[in-house]
Chains A and B, each alone.
Chain A
Amino acid sequence: MELIINGHRKQVEIEPDTPLLWVLRDELGMTGTKYGCGLAQCGACTVLVDGQATRSCVTPVEAVVGAAVTTIEAVSDDPVGREVVEAWVRHQVPQCGYCQSGQVMTATALLKQSDKPSEEEIAAAMVNLCRCGTYNAIAAAVRDVAGVKS
């Protein structure tokens, strides 16, 4: 089947119910998107599918045929994504870093849909887990890009 990943067309021969996550990681060698739980609990596997934050560990690859998939590898190609990454660096967000691909992609989806999200919208969108507890730094970075005063 043909996928559109970060603007490039990719051919993959795979069972259609394979989770997108494992197509990215094992078939395409794109390991920036992380496996954490496989149950859409933690959000480490978040990618954008037509701009929507999507948990790739429970998304069958056949469901994204024809859709534009954006992964962390291309986040800096997007102007909003670049701003998010810059805020992540400015606020020194990551600790172990393992969840941060998903956090950055989730924040990018939010800020692409609404350049001035409210505190409530930020809280509703930023629900990914971080075992290192970088939550306050994540919130500060998102507010920074959104121009929200905490």
Chain B
Amino acid sequence: MMMRRLAPHGGPLPDQPAKLSRRGFLGAGAGALVLSVALPIGNARAQAARIVPGTRVSAFLEIRPDNKVMFRSPFIEGGQGIFTAMAQIVGEELDVNPAQFIVECAPPGPDYLLTMGARFTGGSMSVRMSYDTLRRLGAAARLMLIQAAAQRLGVPAASLSTKPGQVIHASSGRTLDYGAVAAAAAKLPVPSDAPLRSGADFRWIGKPVARLDVLEKSTGQARYSIDLSVEGMLHAAVQHAPRLGLEPASLTNEADVRAMPGVHSIHRLPGAVAVLANSWWRARRAVETLTVTWAEPAGAIVMPANFSSQAHRSKLKTTQGDGIAFETEGDVAAGLRGAARVVEATYEAPHLAHGQLEPPSALARFNKDGTLDLWLPNQAPEMFQAAAAKVAGLTPERVFIHSPILGGFFGRHFLYASANPFPQAILLSKAAGRPVKLIWSREEEFLRDALRPMGVARFRAGPDDAGLPVAMSAVAVGEGATGRWYGRQPGKVDSSAVEGIAGKPYAIPHRRVGQIHVDDPAVIGFWRSVGHSMNDFFYETFFDEMADAGGQDPLVLRQRLLAHSPRHLTLLDAVVDLSGGWRRGPFQATDGSRRARGVAMASPFGSEAAAIAEVSLRSGEVVVHDIWVAIDPGRIVNPAIVEAQINSAVALGLSTTLLEEVVYADGQPQARNFDGYPILPPDRMPRVHLRIIESGAAMGGIGEPGLPAVPPAVTNATSVLAGRRIRSLPLSKAGLT
């Protein structure tokens, strides 16, 4: 487990791969450390049981003689800025400028289980789950440094204070660098009562602190999993079965392929064939030259040969009933009976690919002592460790997981059976007796990505004579990603299938949200904002239909139904104000184009968000000019990173609104690269305007909450221009003129 990786410091570990360095930290010279200790390996399990996550300073922090601070982050950096946020939070209390931090993803270990008793980077949880804990950790470390300095200087600890990176004895004018007392501090017990800095005195938390990784990411120096290499490594490429569940039966040209340049060996894997070669391009060319006959094993669960997106969509839309109730208020049937009229609509959203730009890879190396090193993109090191151990036939503590930064993720790098390359890399490395780096080509990635599920929602609502809805029934049809991977309980609704239809704040007296489970034949997974990515689209666009049916302006109706909630009213006021005042349109813009605006709200991942989009149509194509977003995450750590994340969420949300749809036919995805699965290009990116509201409510998430309101805001505006309601995404299929 982690202990082996944590010590000794200051020099390469004996089995450290030749070409890999612990970025920036190796080469620091012997005796560099440290606020760091190692657990004796034999006691690992016993010790692990006693560890309270987030409290053992030595598991997180190393302070070097040059005052650089290395922080082992429980969370992985994949563009969301978490490494910088960690440095801000810990640095604020430790009293070290975040710019002095070097942050790496921590190895598996009990210290890092800060996400509801487990550990993953997802659910927009990283900061909100660890903020208090990591402030206390930084404060405890600062106190240890003060105590060590007090011993060194022979003065009472109470006479000492700190300034960034130094302990100060004000009365004598003496100072000690943190790096000079770090080794002594490491021997002290971790205090549990270290004082926290007052929020009024924050220098870095809440400020637009520069990201730690921008220069290296602007100069090609940042290293992702796909970039790594170790001594003696072979390159691997695979050809997957065209349909999941098929197995390689015969290879007709094996000898020819074996004779191709650089080819080392050919391998059969579960559901795939692989070639090992001395470069990836040679491996890829060889594996794609292989002529493979695929067989359908008896009794195996496979992607059906007749599966098509169109047929599945029809199935979801024609599945009748009200499903299992998830959220109920009042009596919907009675409410609808008493309504002046009933408005009904069915909405749908397609499967989506993650499309992160770094194709998945895994680098596996078995060591002489039988242990396994694995470098791979992942959002949950302990879960990958356990899964890799099973594949390798080892106990988990003999598998060392290394988690390089991610070239985008959006939910792609959770553990999904059949969608992660690491089991193949392990099997190939074992077979070849050499380290193996496997990269999935973009085409193989499109074939095996774990998709955002397809979903359908049916709504019925009844406005009264005044146009106010008295009742609403919503039924979500499909399957949620959480139930797929973490166990679905029969008779119980998977909340990831209904979030964004359920949990809405509008005061409608009679309402019911139900769900009908229908197995999704595709491999489905978590995709940025999960259920919210489609469900808020369903609900918030139906909301405008409901408003229209009752003769209400959609913004005014939202305000009326939120009269009980000052937080939501404030948010709506903010987004309206930011956009220069509400006007739905159609109206003529100064450039002569005919435009409309749409508004939508969402309550995802502990935050509240509202968006307004301004849209025109040009030759049947939706042009989005501006998107205004107001977000209330309670409190924030870095406004610049929040702004970047909102830009990012708007881009991804808009990409799905305008363009994205994974289409299956004959059991196979029709697009295997970005030529067939277009994603938002730069010339379709709108201006993005943001207002952050720090209401002081419990801290919410940032990475995902900017997304869900975007598709409905854009679609609501588009429906105004089209003169008809659009109930399906993407808009490229809407037949607009």
Contact = CB atoms under 8 A, between A and B. Distances in A.
A130 interface: yes
Question: Which residue, A41, A76, A85, A133, has most C-beta atoms of chain B within 10 A?
Answer: A133
**Size class of the A contact interface (CB-based, 8 Å):** 35 or more
B356 A131 contact: yes
A42 B652 CA distance: 16
A77 to B, nearest CB: 11
B220 A73 contact: yes
B573 interface: no
B281 A26 contact: yes
A75 B220 contact: yes
A117 interface: no
Contacts of B220: 31-33, 71-73, 75, 101, 104
9 closest pairs, A vs B, by CB? Answer: A133-B651, A32-B220, A97-B217, A96-B79, A98-B407, A72-B220, A95-B79, A22-B281, A31-B227
A89 B218 contact: yes
B408 to A, nearest CB: 4
Most chain A CB inside 10 Å of its own CB: which residue of B79, B81, B261, B282: B79
B20 to A, nearest CB: 12
Nearest to A27: B279
B683 interface: yes
Contacts of A130: 357, 651, 682
Contacts of B644: 92, 95, 134, 137
A100 B685 contact: no
A139 B682 contact: yes
Interface in A120-143: 123, 126-139
Given A18-B281, A98-B357, A135 B651 contact: yes
A85 B359 CA distance: 25
B651 A98 contact: no
Contacts of B648: 95, 132-134
A94 B214 contact: yes
A129 B674 contact: yes
16 contacts: A25-B280, A31-B220, A39-B673, A39-B675, A42-B357, A75-B220, A89-B214, A94-B79, A94-B211, A94-B217, A97-B79, A99-B357, A100-B217, A101-B220, A129-B681, A133-B648
B687 A136 contact: yes
B673 A35 contact: no
Contact of A36 (B214, B280, B357, B687): B357
A29 interface: yes
B218 A135 contact: no
Nearest to A84: B218
A133 B219 contact: no
A18 B79 CA distance: 31
Contacts of A101: 220
B79 A39 contact: no
Interface string B273-294: 0000001111000000000000
Contacts of B213: 94, 97
A111 interface: no
Interface string B667-685: 0000001110001111101
B430 interface: no
Given A22-B281, A123-B682, A131-B679, A92 B647 contact: no
A22 B279 contact: yes
B97 interface: no
A93 B218 contact: yes
Interface string B629-644: 0000000000010001
Nearest to B227: A31
Contacts of A97: 79, 213, 216-218, 222, 405, 407
A19 interface: yes
B214 A88 contact: yes
Interface in A39-72: 39, 41-42, 44, 71-72
Contacts of A92: 210-211, 214, 640, 644
Contact of A96 (B218, B408, B680): B408
B257 to A, nearest CB: 15
B355 interface: yes
Contacts of B439: 35
**Central interface residue in B81, B227, B229, B652, by most chain A CB within 10 Å:** B227
Given A34-B357, A39-B674, A133-B647, A85 B224 contact: no
Interface in B676-726: 679-683, 685, 687-688
Given A36-B357, A95-B81, A136-B687, A26 B280 contact: yes
Given A127-B682, A136-B687, A137-B644, A93 B214 contact: yes
A126 B682 contact: yes
B317 interface: no
Given A132-B408, A134-B648, 16 more contacts: A26-B235, A26-B281, A27-B279, A33-B220, A34-B357, A35-B359, A37-B673, A44-B357, A94-B218, A96-B358, A98-B356, A131-B679, A132-B79, A133-B648, A133-B650, A134-B644
B341 interface: no
A96 B357 contact: yes
A41 B218 CA distance: 20
A119 B674 CA distance: 26
Contacts of A26: 235, 279-281
A67 B683 CA distance: 31
Given A35-B439, A85-B215, A98-B357, A41 B673 contact: yes
Contacts of B652: 131, 133
Interface in B189-230: 210-211, 213-224, 226-227, 229
B674 A37 contact: yes
Which of A75, A93, A97, A129 is most buried by chain B, counting CB atoms within 10 A of its CB?
A: A97
B441 interface: yes
A92 B649 CA distance: 17
B685 A136 contact: yes
Given A22-B279, A29-B229, A137 B647 contact: yes
Contacts of B488: none
A37 B223 CA distance: 18
Given A37-B674, A71-B220, A89-B215, A133 B357 contact: no
B83 to A, nearest CB: 12
Contacts of B358: 34, 36, 96, 98
A134 B359 contact: no
Nearest to A126: B682
Nearest to B640: A92
A134 B218 contact: no
A36 B439 CA distance: 11
Given A22-B280, A95-B648, A128 B682 contact: yes
Most buried by A among B81, B261, B407, B439: B407
B442 interface: yes
A51 B685 CA distance: 28
B78 interface: yes
